[in-house]
Structure 1
Amino acid sequence: MSNALDGKVVLVTGASSGIGQGTALALSKAGARVAVGARRADRLKSLTQDAPGEILALDLDVTDRQSVQNAVTATVDRFGSLDVLVNNAGVMLSGPILGADLTEWTRMVETNLLGSMYAVHAALPHLLAAKGAVVQISSTSGRTASAASAVYGATKFGITAFSEALRQEVTAEGVRVIVIEPGFVDTELASHISDPAIQAMAKSMAESMRTLQPEDIASAVLYALTQPEHVAVNEILIRPTDQTR
């Protein structure tokens, strides 16, 4: 595994915690040179200290197109190329449609969907040159819509559609597009829900099962990225064994 990623350059968005942080560490351990970006750039310091390989920490807001372009440029300037983009930045502000705070809808669409699109757009010329890969961290909510998660699910369904169109456009050029769809993962994602009842429900559901860990998702990412070049693992659905839907 380490040989396949040794020396490769990877940009991971949303790397200040959870899946992004775990994936960045796993990639570094596998020999990759990793650029990590997040709005909470101060939280990247521990990641740069814990990673065994070279890490570039970037102040990155995926909702800002210039910030995204700057992050890609800084990565290429530092390492000379870009082989893999891991689109992980995301927010989950679940709640019912009736009476919803529409600013939360906007934040989810801008972060989860448009943010990942901006990152692909900025990185794609470099990924084409490297015959690299795009990894989209989606969700089981990108397959099955559910009450109180309409907009979050819509952003994840959007990622699936965008990724399939992207795959059709670039696969003949050697760029692989990988969608990872995790179920319940032990991260702080649900803690940002502003509706107390929905947050309590999410907490109760998580406590009812053996949740996935960020490292489990990182392992799936590494599996997909370390396949032979002629093998494209386009989609991985990964749930806790205890999760029924």
Structure 2
Amino acid sequence: MRSEDTLANIDVAVLAGGLGTRIRGVLGDTPKVLAPVAGRAFLGHLLDYLSNHGSRRVVLCLGHLADRVTAWLARGDSAGAMDVVCQIEPEPLGTAGALGYVRKELRSGTILVMNGDTFLDADLRAFVASHRLSGAEASVLCVTVEDAARYGRVEVGADSRIHRFVEKAPGTGTINAGVYLFSAAFLDRVIAQGAVSLERDVLEKAPPGTLHAHVAKARFIDIGTPESLAAAGGVIGGRDA
């Protein structure tokens, strides 16, 4: 499998409907997914990353300030030859609820889901291969960070299965990087359960050993706070260095 073919037959859902309350003081009326990072909108970096892995179809799960995102896309700032579909939720539905709202647009047997406010330069080819070999219906892309204080840790066994999610604690740790591969059947069960939060209602409640973990060696950043947004350019802007 070549990198440019990795996502050729996998639809991608990008969760980008959050309110961005923690960085509203910095961004004002700019939606978080359009935050300027390394000279361009954050969403442009995400779409280029997906395009470089062969993505052909991306569904943006939008909400707050969605009109700004659709206007940005209409200017043709990014996305190349990809089919980018915008779905705007009528009210905040949560990360799992948003997937239910856009389910009709996700047509592939395997679906890649990713947060719209995080970035890591992981090799998605390795993630997809690992998911397929595992035989699991759901896989979580994980990464080890020096300071896991802001994130819940993930305990991964020797079998590459997630044994449990642990409360936030300082120090080096392996975390959920906010990128997932789900079978269509798994996603349908999540939606049927009426889950609101993908993280709390689905992943953290999954029986131990249900979820496959692929721990990538990659640089990771989220843009959820003013401090992390300010640092994002150093990760994204220097990833080809």
TM-score of the superposition, structure 1-length normalised? 0.43
- The structure whose residues are more often helix, as a share, is 1
Of structures 1 and 2, the one scoring higher in RCO (CA 8 A, sep 6+) is: 2
- The structure whose residues are more often strand, as a share, is 2
